[in-house]
């Protein structure tokens, strides 16, 4: 038994003296090298992704700035284009007429001159010296009246154009001239930015557009008994009925309630097909009280309904293309 224990002890010593089984140093170095490469590549990728994200963010920011600039440009253009509609108001008219009354009322009395300057000071911008509008003539001037002709912008300044009437001295004949009044507007209040300047009245009569219409005529449909009968029946009912009575044959009911009578229907023109027609015609009416006549251009967009037609849209011009 002693020999057996001795052999076990020898085996134990041998197992402890067994050489180290770890990886050789060269292999450890190689694995570490690949790990370092992997970390470097990962860092490079992270850096690139950050740079790409920054570039994208910068591009988005630049795009937003461009869009904001474009929107401001469009807003400015819209304001200028719609000046005649957006600037005018009854308050502007009252303000301008009050200004012209003060400006074109001049007296040779010193006290009246001072009162005029004091009153004008309320109208002009605060940084305009009173010496600018102290243009008192030796002659007496009396304001007669004024009326608005137009509103527009020039060099980004709002302008109200007025026809002004006034007399000079003791002459009772009214002088009528056109003056442009530069002004600023904010929150329903107004300020005169410069002296009103004389100009000539703009000619507002011209040929600046055409009606949107389809001149194609389906002569077969236009001359058909069904279309002719419908146009006549519809026109008669339209002039004799209330709007509420037209609801069965019109999407947007209209009616003249017997104030007029149909005198004639002419120049019937049809475009489109039987299922979707534009019927254009000249309707001449007679006023039931005065017996005076007048003509209207009518365009009906109609669709079939049973044995007749249903008016989808009625336009009081010869425009109105098929939808």
pLDDT tens for each residue of 171-200: 889 999 999 999 999 988 999 999 999 988
Structure tokens at 8: 């076990």
- pLDDT band of 84, cuts 50, 70, 90: very low
138-147, 187-196, 259-268: least confidently modelled range: 138-147
Structure tokens at 306: 């049973």
Position 121 scores a pLDDT of 93
- pLDDT band of 239, cuts 50, 70, 90: very high
**CATH tag, 88-197:** 3.10.450.540
Return the bridge partners of 24, or none: none
Pairwise pLDDT comparison (20 vs 85), residue with the higher score: 20
Inter-residue contact 232 to 265 (CB < 8 Å): yes
Q: How many CA atoms lie within 13 A of 24 on its CB side?
A: 3
Q: Give the global pTM.
A: 0.51
* Spans of all domains in the chain: 31-80, 88-197, 223-313
Tell me which architecture the domain covering 223-313 has in CATH: Roll (3.10)
Inter-residue contact 148 to 88 (CB < 8 Å): yes
Position 36 scores a pLDDT of 75
206-215, 224-233, 288-297: least confidently modelled range: 206-215
- pLDDT band of 83, cuts 50, 70, 90: very low
Kindly report the average pLDDT of the chain as a whole number: 82
The reply to whether domains 88-197 and 223-313 share a CATH topology is: yes
């Amino acid at each position: 038994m002693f020999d057996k224990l001795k052999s076990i002890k020898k085996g134990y010593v041998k197992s402890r003296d067994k050489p180290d089984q770890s990886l050789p140093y060269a292999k450890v170095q190689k694995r570490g090298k690949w790990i370092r490469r992997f970390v470097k590549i990962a860092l490079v990728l992270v850096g690139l992704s950050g740079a790409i994200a920054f570039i994208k963010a910068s591009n988005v920011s630049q795009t937003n700035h461009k869009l904001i600039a474009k929107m401001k440009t469009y807003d400015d253009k819209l304001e200028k284009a719609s000046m005649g509609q957006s600037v005018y108001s009854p308050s502007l008219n009252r303000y301008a007429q009050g200004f012209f009354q003060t400006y074109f009322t001049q007296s040779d009395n010193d006290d009246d001159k001072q009162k005029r300057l004091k009153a004008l000071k309320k109208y002009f911008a605060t940084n305009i010296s009173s010496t600018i509008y102290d243009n008192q003539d030796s002659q007496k001037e009396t304001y007669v009246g004024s009326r608005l002709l137009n509103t527009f912008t020039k060099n980004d300044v709002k302008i109200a154009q007025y026809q002004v009437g006034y007399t000079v001295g003791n002459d009772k004949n009214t002088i009528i001239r056109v003056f442009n009044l530069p002004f600023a507007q904010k929150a329903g209040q107004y300020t005169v930015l410069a002296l009103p300047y004389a100009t000539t009245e703009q000619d507002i009569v011209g040929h600046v557009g055409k009606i949107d219409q389809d001149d194609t005529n389906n002569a077969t449909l236009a001359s058909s008994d069904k279309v002719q009968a419908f146009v006549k029946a519809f026109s008669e009912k339209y002039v004799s009925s209330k709007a509420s009575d037209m609801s069965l044959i019109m999407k947007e009911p209209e009616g003249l309630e017997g104030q007029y009578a149909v005198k004639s229907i002419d120049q019937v023109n049809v475009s489109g097909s039987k299922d979707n027609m534009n019927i254009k015609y000249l309707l001449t009416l007679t006023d039931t009280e005065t017996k005076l006549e007048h003509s209207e251009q009518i365009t009906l967009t109609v669709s079939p309904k049973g044995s007749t037609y249903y008016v989808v849209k009625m336009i009081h011009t010869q425009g109105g293309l098929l939808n």
